[in-house]
Structure 1
Amino acid sequence: MEMPFNSFKAAIASKLTRYGLWAGFASGYAAEIAASSDYDWMLIDGEHAPNTVPTILNQLQAVAPYRTAPVVRSVNGDPSLIKQLLDIGVQTLMVPMVETAEQARSIVRAMRYPPYGIRGVGGGLARATRWDSVPDYLSTAHQSLCLIVQVESRLGVENVEEIAAVEGVDAVFVGPADLSIGLGYPGNPSHPEVQTQIRRAIDATISAGKAVGILAPHEEDARRYAEWGCTFIAVGIDISLFRQAAATNLARYRSTNTKASESSRTY
């Protein structure tokens, strides 16, 4: 059996912008619906969504038949958790709040087997090896893995040049929300100072020859970041889209009821 192909890693090597969806429902059924809408990639969020290793596995299995490439965000860079995620078949891993090059290097080591890292061998227990059916998995696994580190703090941006240059880091993902609050502008990623820091992170990553991504649910932001060089952009969050659509649908009928009530009043 061949090593599963990492379509996301291959895609971000090109200059074309890939558009993704943030998946926060922690449900295989919801993830499959999202994948069927044909986004280029989707982020299965293990940091802020109520996910566990089994629920992430369920979502990976649900989206496997579709073109949409899954990216999994871990809650942190804990090597034990990274080992579990890689063993269940995560090929593209995003790690939040990376602030130094040494932190990035430690994550790279957690994703690689000795002598180049510290990843433990799961062998026949691991879905990643197709239960020991992939020949030479131990010596070739790193070729199919993709590491995205998140730069989303003042310190992270200060060190972004060194972080992006780390061998084994495939891409940098900028987090506007955390960056804005860390810079003193909570809820305002459009503030000029925040935008300046975002641009610095993007430019530094591109200069290092790495791909750069960002979360941008608002169209004007997404188009600006694409012009700046981001090649993978999350342009929606499934929970937000659901809530907005549900609220809009209800408002349509509540508005009708209000008008009808007002017209029936006796003055």
Structure 2
Amino acid sequence: MDRLVNPFKQALKSGRLQIGLWHSLSSHLVVEILADSGFDWILIDTEHAPNEVPMVLAQLQAMSGATAHAVVRPAWNDQVIIKRLLDVGAQSLLIPYVETEEEAKRAVQSTRYPPEGFRGFASQARASRYGRIKGYHAAANAEICLLLQVETKRGLENLERIARVEGVDGVFVGPGDLSAALGYLGEPNHPEVVKTIDEAIRRIKDAGSVPGILSGDAQLAQHYIEQGCLFAAVGSDIGLLANGAEQLAAKFRSQNPGR
């Protein structure tokens, strides 16, 4: 039964800051390297990355026993997609593009077995260690960590109602799509966007939920943490690879001009 305990959920409930990294390269080898690098959680993305369920399964296996916890982002708030990710062993999910209280409730129900929800029953899925965890189905609901992503004007209008839905563990503010919705496409660092996110963080906290964010800008990420974000992704594997490669190449090109 100890294998069911979700340490990431427990950390959020106890108010402990969780620092994360976005994984978009869709590689079990990459995520295996990242998972023991000191981050509290790694986001496995299937919304904006070429990731499918068998690939996510391999990435979850690669993270087994690592120090970082896996959070999986489905491509959509879809009952079937969510069921499949849960069955292969995802315990924490970040659901994108949630705009209403009804959509929030549907996300909760998709992650819960009846009578609390409508998650489909599988007796020997990887989530239950292929049926070896006794009492898995009775205990699973309580250990699912459900994070909802708000990233539109409509979502902001319904923010408190979304945050207060029973079964929602946290609300993640999506700076990319939100900046576009506010008229600042590609400018998540724009002062008006930052102001709106700051206000959203306050509203999520006041509603009794836990705020989260992603920012590859270290200074801005620290700012959001100081505002109260308890789960904060501070970069991505693509950013680390691209920036590190460019810096290394530039260093040696500058030392060897003309070659």
Shared fold per TM-score greater than 0.5: yes
Is 1:120 aligned with 2:107?
no
Aligned residue for 1:147, secondary structure, equals: strand
Structure number, greater radius of gyration: 1
* Structure 2 residue aligned with 1:211: 210
Q: CA deviation at 1:151?
A: 0.6
Say whether the 8 Å CA contact 1:25–1:49 is kept in structure 2: yes
Contact 1:171 1:213 in 2 (8 A): yes
Contact 2:19 2:40 (8 Å CA) reproduced? yes
Query: In the alignment, which residue of structure 1 is the partner of 2:223?
Result: 224
1:81 aligns with 2:100: no
The answer to whether residue 158 in structure 2 is matched with residue 163 in structure 1 is no
CA–CA separation in structure 2 for the residues paired with 1:137 and 1:15: 27
TM normalised by structure 1 equals 0.93
3-state SS of 1:169 partner: coil
* Aligned residue number for residue 197 of structure 1: 196
**Are the aligned partners of 2:109 and 2:119 in contact in 1 as well (CA < 8 Å)?**
yes
Query: In the aligned structure 1, how far is the partner of 2:219 from the partner of 2:255?
Result: 32
Q: Is the 8 A contact 1:95 1:149 kept in 2?
A: yes
Q: Which residue matches 1:23?
A: 23
CA distance in 2, matches of 1:255, 1:213: 40
SS at match of 2:13: coil
Where structure 2 has 5 or more consecutive residues not aligned to the other structure, the ranges are none
Query: How much does 1:2 deviate?
Result: 4.2
Partner of residue 264, structure 1: none
Mapped to 2, the partners of 1:190 and 1:217 lie a distance apart of 10
Distance 2:140 2:15 in 1: 25
Q: What secondary structure, in the 3-state scheme, does the structure 2 residue paired with 1:113 have?
A: coil
Contact 1:216–1:234, Cα closer than 8 Å, also in 2: yes
Are the aligned partners of 1:77 and 1:96 in contact in 2 as well (CA < 8 Å)?
Answer: yes
Aligned residue number for residue 265 of structure 1 = none
Q: Is the contact between residue 157 and residue 200 of structure 1 (CA under 8 Å) also seen in structure 2?
A: no
Q: 1:42 touches 1:68 (CA, 8 Å); kept in 2? A: yes
For residues 67 and 119 of structure 1, the distance between their equivalents in structure 2, rounded to whole angstroms, comes to 28
- For residues 73 and 134 of structure 1, the distance between their equivalents in structure 2, rounded to whole angstroms, comes to 25
Count of residues in Structure 1 that have an aligned counterpart in Structure 2: 259
Q: Is contact 2:4–2:140 with CA below 8 Å preserved after alignment?
A: no
**Quick check: 2:4–2:136 contact (8 Å CA) kept in 1?**
no
Question: Any idea what the Cα deviations from partners look like across 1:106-151, whole Å, max 9, x if unmatched?
Answer: 1111111112211110112x11111122222222111110000001
5+ long unaligned stretches in structure 1 = 262-267
How far off is 1:32 after superposition?
0.6
* Post-superposition offset of 1:193: 2.4
Between 1:195-204 and 1:39-48, the stretch displaced more is 195-204
Counterpart for residue 182 of structure 1: 181
Structure 1's consecutive aligned runs of 4 or more residues displaced over 3 angstroms after TM superposition are none
User: What is the alpha-carbon root mean square deviation over aligned residues?
Assistant: 1.3
Question: Which residue pairs with 2:63 in the alignment?
Answer: 63
Return the offset for 1:256: 2.7
* Contact in 2 for aligned 1:157/1:197 (Cα 8 Å): no
Compute the displacement of 1:189 (Å): 1.8
Within 5 Å, which residues of 2 pair with 1:247-266? 247-258=246-257
Counterpart Cα distance in 2 of 1:188 and 1:161? 25
TM value normalised by structure 2: 0.96
Distance 1:116 1:240 in 2: 40
Distance 1:73 1:110 in 2: 14
Deviation at 1:3, TM superposition (A): 4.1
Cα pair 1:20 1:41 within 8 Å, conserved: yes
For the 8 Å contact 1:32–1:59, the answer to whether it is kept is yes
